Structure 1
């Protein structure tokens, strides 16, 4: 571990106290509010498209009506003045609430590493959502910038297996539990080859064996068995049209093999990364496989990503592939920047409506929560964001975020520090709350 990783977090007690104070707790989230948002440019991200000069009425935390000149006596009214209103945005596949400092091993809970490094330990029953901390300092940092939900991913690279484990969707409203079905995470290609005898070919051999074990073709006590009884049950749930399997993979040749494997075993896959996915766009569209791209990836970082291009999202979508977004470097810390990545995809040919859908409807549909999240429609949860301008523009900010129709405090650790150090010093230096607050 680096010296920086061992160093105590500065003012840790103050930081944790602030996080607790800013946490929009589960009890608050459950107390839904009635509100009428008037005269907004409503980007529904759904079948209704964009509705200008439109009102949205929220009752008991649910969208009750969408239209013009709505009336609701005794309901708090917000004049949007024509500004954009969107569903709360997706923060990507990351470890928000599972890590605080990326260099601090004691603050990271997204990976499972058991046994000797040379012996792969396969535990698909590992569920990272059990470690989720809704009071994480990173949660309010993301949500004040319009991020309302995220997928907790299980990290294979830091673990000891190409099977990272399971994750789930969390709402960033302070709720402690994930919503919707779990997803299983797998790492393929060169990033996972070190876990499979330095051979990407061995990855398919191992995956086929896991299928055989889950289907009872290999006895539990066999010397070659890789799965525990619980692991067999967990892995079996993702076969024959079961839960979603998210596969981190980049090379077009590996994606081709992945499509064949998934079709052979009835596995519903989504691709994470997919730098060369555009080369397989027709096949991905035919198989209805969503791809979560890094919209800023345009360099051949390794031999798996020779075909990287900023037009990846646009080419995929033009072929009919559902496209969403996710980042890879410090994704938990920079979830708030995902809309900037979507804006870059739009700048490189992706239609604007598809850029917004990639931050809302597509991830909600992919992970089985579209009945509650991802669009503005009657009957949906009122997880909404009012913006100063185009939400895909980097200069735009969120003026208000609602969860279940309840306006959250637009504060985070970052805004508190900003306000502290921008004000004039008192008798004591600005770092001392007693001298200024």
Structure 2
């Protein structure tokens, strides 16, 4: 039976009514930001079949039983990338028992405590309360990134992409994270030169040039196997680095070691943009990094992303600061700031969709194109503008209920006072 639904609320109720039609969807009359070479399509339709995008164009016909949503010209984008976070491995940042993002190896940091086999995705909890908060604001996925633990090493460990739809396991290949510069001076003998020395030694050991039975060996058997894989170029190594001089050394090091690398942070990357572009290294920047928080960021500036992109660098957007997990939903606003400082709008959207999907090895997300997963967001207006919000989010063509702990608290304390104080009010889950 074919039904035409003109209101978004009605479409959501119909879609939730039966699982058979949950992945069948036609969004009509939308401004479709494809994040592909097709760019933005005006008054376009998106047809979803079996959880995948079946067609993108004008005046598409809907098979019987397909849920139809009239966007009335509003923007539709792929679900957005939430950056490099601890979503799902951190509940309350100030409560250690709820934080699983780092591997602590003792009070006194020692370089020998290198554990590349540490995989933070093993602690991922898809039911973490921070996930719905990000999800209802259009965030579809995030890279879980390990952080530096007390007594850890400059090799932080492995992370990977996780979906915000309740999927319990990470998707895509693992990524190795390494920190450089001032932030890890305690782990490298208080010398940046020591960081390169240690990395050279560990890679030599992983390649069998240092016998595991010698006093110079630092890796466990599992650590050697993991690092050997990345040393063969079989995985992406993301380096947290800001200073231009360190980035220059990194590019030389990666070429010498035949590593496939990316950069996180890169506050001074604009100063070496041409070298980064020539090396084809992607850079994930924080567009609000414009002041020298430390001596590695003296040259930070807000048009960093624009300069990098103009030079041909692949640019992604991440949340900086100390709390990227609970601010993951702000990545779209960061992209908006990058656009305000010279980054083309289409590149700003790509930095949150196509770019992270390509860089982190996901082939079926990040764009609105035939065959891609139907992870979509309908917005009230320009998604990179703080004044607009996500109206509806779909994963694999299935609409999510647009609720989170924050919306429940909002509804509780905006409701009229009842016989008991508002704190005793139970949210109406049926809505």
Counterpart contact for 1:295–1:341, Cα < 8 Å = yes
Structure 1 residue 230 displacement after superposition: 0.7
Say what the alpha-carbon RMSD is for the aligned residues. 1.6
Name the CA distance, whole Å, in 2 between partners of 1:400 and 1:30. Answer: 20
Name the CA distance, whole Å, in 1 between partners of 2:357 and 2:149. Answer: 26
In structure 1, the residue matched to 2:179 is 187
In structure 2, the residue matched to 1:301 is 293
Structure 1 residue 119 displacement after superposition: 2.1
**Equivalent residue of 1:308, what SS?**
coil
Name the CA distance, whole Å, in 1 between partners of 2:97 and 2:248. Answer: 38
In structure 2, the residue matched to 1:106 is 97
Structure 1 residue 115 displacement after superposition: 3.7
In structure 2, the residue matched to 1:68 is 58
Query: Does the alignment pair 1:229 with 2:221?
Result: yes
Counterparts of 1:59-208 in structure 2 under 5 Å? Answer: 59-72=49-62, 73-120=64-111, 121-156=113-148, 158=150, 160-208=152-200
Structure 1 residue 194 displacement after superposition: 1.1
Counterparts of 1:28-427 in structure 2 under 5 Å? Answer: 33-72=23-62, 73-120=64-111, 121-156=113-148, 158=150, 160-328=152-320, 329-369=322-362, 371-427=363-419
- CA offsets, 1:111-133, max 9 Å, x none? 00114524230010000000000
Counterpart contact for 1:157–1:191, Cα < 8 Å = no
Segments of structure 2 that go 5 or more residues without pairing to the other structure are 1-17
Higher mean C-alpha deviation, range 384-393 or range 116-125: 116-125
TM value normalised by structure 2:
0.93
Name the CA distance, whole Å, in 2 between partners of 1:110 and 1:75. Answer: 42
Name the CA distance, whole Å, in 2 between partners of 1:323 and 1:392. Answer: 16
Counterpart contact for 1:389–1:396, Cα < 8 Å = yes
Structure 1 residue 271 displacement after superposition: 0.5
Name the CA distance, whole Å, in 2 between partners of 1:30 and 1:396. Answer: 32
TM value normalised by structure 1:
0.91
- CA offsets, 1:160-206, max 9 Å, x none? 11010000000100000000000000000010111111111100000
**Equivalent residue of 1:238, what SS?**
helix
Name the CA distance, whole Å, in 2 between partners of 1:313 and 1:217. Answer: 40
**Equivalent residue of 1:248, what SS?**
strand
Name the CA distance, whole Å, in 1 between partners of 2:310 and 2:232. Answer: 29
Counterpart contact for 2:316–2:356, Cα < 8 Å = yes
**Equivalent residue of 2:248, what SS?**
helix
- CA offsets, 1:247-301, max 9 Å, x none? 0000000000000110111111110000000111001101111111011010011
Structure 1 residue 32 displacement after superposition: 5.3
